[in-house]
Homo-oligomer: A and B are copies of this chain.
Amino acid sequence: MTSSTDTDLHTAKLKLVRLGIDTYHENVAYLHRDCEIYRAEGFQALSKVKVCGDSRRILAVLNVVDDAAIVALDELALSEEAFDHLGLSEGQWVAVDHAQPPASMDAVRRKIAGRRLNQQDYRSIIQDITESRYSKTEISAFLVASGQTDMDRDEVLYLTQAMLDSGERLNWDEPQVVDKHCIGGIPGNRTSMLVVPIVAAHGMLIPKTSSRAITSPAGTADTMEVLANVEINIGKLHDIVRKQRGCMIWGGTARLSPADDILISVERPLGIDSQGQMVASILSKKLAAGSTHLLIDIPVGATAKIRHMREAQRLRKLFEYVGDQLDIQLEVVITDGRQPVGNGIGPALEARDVMQVLQNDPLAPNDLRQKALWLAGRVLEFDPDVRGGHGFAMARDILDCGRALEKMNAIIAAQGVQTNRYPLGQLAHDILAPANGVVTAIDNFQMARIARFAGAPMDKGAGVDLFKKLGEPVEKDEPLYRLYAEFPSDFKFALALCEQASGYTIGQQVDITRAFVEF
């Protein structure tokens, strides 16, 4: 038989094109159905292809295109992120090949079958995920398989270690680098922006890298960005931290635990948030950021991420176990998660609350102030020179005498004052109380969703401003909160959601659930 290979085959190539489509954390390649070289449909059901050129390669999901205006017959197009990952220029020659399923999917299938995975398994899985070898469906399979009922403490440790090893690690060359982190789920809970200036003013090193919101209406980075530049390169970052002892920047550029960002992008929209994944996600990020001492805030409430004290205690033990093994000094506090903290929900509104507290403004939300002082006090007590129980009073003194505000302003100046103005959204509407009574419940999840629909965090002036908190008396038709939006379509979406469910329950004082927590 003839074996007519090799002559023309290895030169069979397509011209690379960057297609202006943002496919959100998934590499997508586009081939014309009648592509001159490859049988596009033959690849499709197998879900992934390998795109190679000039000794670089990526894996991508294949979409078949029927319009030569999008992709010509001699071209291969990549979505924006995929194009960046491959790192070649338009017009360079690329070849397409069958993608081997990632080798570590064998381990995922063992996990699905209920078996325990070892350290090497987690390493391989996280490496393959970091190198974009997993499709979103494969990531989903891993997340579910390693979900809450199925990962023991040591597996959580292996996963954390693997995620930590997947990226860069910051080194501050100091014996004590402190941080605090909340597991999330409580809108408006912007205590970090108070804890950092208080603790830095005391002289402890607290270089805070944080994320932007994914499915919540504001992250610390989104809120800080109302006041200052948060996209700082590593060189400048060290400079700022050395001088100011603290910072509040977006951690996205630093490649800290990059696997975490990929996992979260699938996990959040699925609404699954297992304890093991949460611990691995938080601790890998904090260890990568160079923290030696960490305070974890676990809010408990009917509409918080953690709904029962027993769950909170279980999560606390898991944090402690993994933290101890990875040599980070870790304290866990369980807090009141029954309602949003502060008044504002959304970047501009939350930034306003924070600045009011720092300025000792009488309008400042007292719950935010008290919680921040209490957390800052616990962080201050990581200092060997601070006597146990004295932290709160020290934090209060630093705040009251204006040193925290001074430090905040210095950090803002160092990072670069925000030159854009972010006024509150021009579209506004008040949601009124349906009856006389007291506020007996505020649904964290619904309030976050309303603020999100209104445009937060992308539109910084969008969100919700709460006028009434738990236990406060209200009269019929008195405003409960005000909705702010910048765009008519968002305003309409948020109003429709408020009409469906305002997020507030009005009843009698006795109906209020009691909180049995430290704060």
Contact = CB atoms under 8 A, between A and B. Distances in A.
Q: Select the residue from A30, A488, A490 with max chain B CB neighbours within 10 A.
A: A488
A16 to B, nearest CB: 16
Given A12-B488, A21-B63, A66-B80, A5 B137 contact: no
A24 B45 contact: yes
Closest 4 CB pairs of A and B: A20-B67, A47-B269, A20-B66, A140-B140
A199 B147 CA distance: 49
A41 to B, nearest CB: 6
Interface in A36-52: 37-39, 41-42, 44-48
Nearest to A457: B42
B144 A428 contact: no
Contacts of A265: 45
A517 B10 CA distance: 46
Interface in A47-87: 47-48, 63-67, 69-70, 79-80
Contacts of A489: 9, 12, 37-39, 96
25 contacts: A2-B427, A3-B429, A4-B427, A6-B492, A9-B488, A9-B492, A12-B489, A21-B63, A23-B63, A24-B45, A24-B64, A39-B487, A39-B490, A42-B490, A45-B268, A46-B215, A96-B489, A105-B271, A109-B272, A114-B149, A136-B136, A137-B137, A137-B270, A141-B272, A145-B147
Q: Select the residue from A1, A70, A98, A270 with max chain B CB neighbours within 10 A.
A: A270
Given A5-B491, A9-B491, 14 more contacts: A1-B428, A3-B429, A6-B492, A20-B65, A21-B66, A22-B44, A38-B489, A45-B265, A45-B269, A70-B70, A112-B149, A135-B269, A136-B136, A137-B139
Nearest to A267: B137
A381 interface: no
B1 A97 contact: no
A137 B42 contact: no
Interface of A: 1-6, 8-10, 12, 19-24, 30, 33, 37-39, 41-42, 44-48, 63-67, 69-70, 79-80, 96-98, 101, 105, 109, 112-114, 135-141, 143-145, 147-149, 214-215, 265-266, 268-272, 274, 427-430, 452-453, 455, 458-459, 482, 487-493, 495
Contacts of A63: 21-24, 79
Contacts of A271: 101, 105, 109
A30 to B, nearest CB: 7
Nearest to A269: B47
Q: Select the residue from A22, A271, A430 with max chain B CB neighbours within 10 A.
A: A22
B42 A458 contact: yes
Nearest to A67: B20
Contact of A272 (B112, B114, B430): B112
Contacts of A30: 21
Contacts of A429: 1-3, 5
Nearest to A143: B141
B138 A141 contact: no
A148 B112 contact: yes
A270 B141 contact: yes
A13 to B, nearest CB: 10
A112 B492 contact: no
A145 B144 contact: yes
Nearest to A147: B112
Given A45-B269, A137-B137, A488-B9, A113 B149 contact: yes
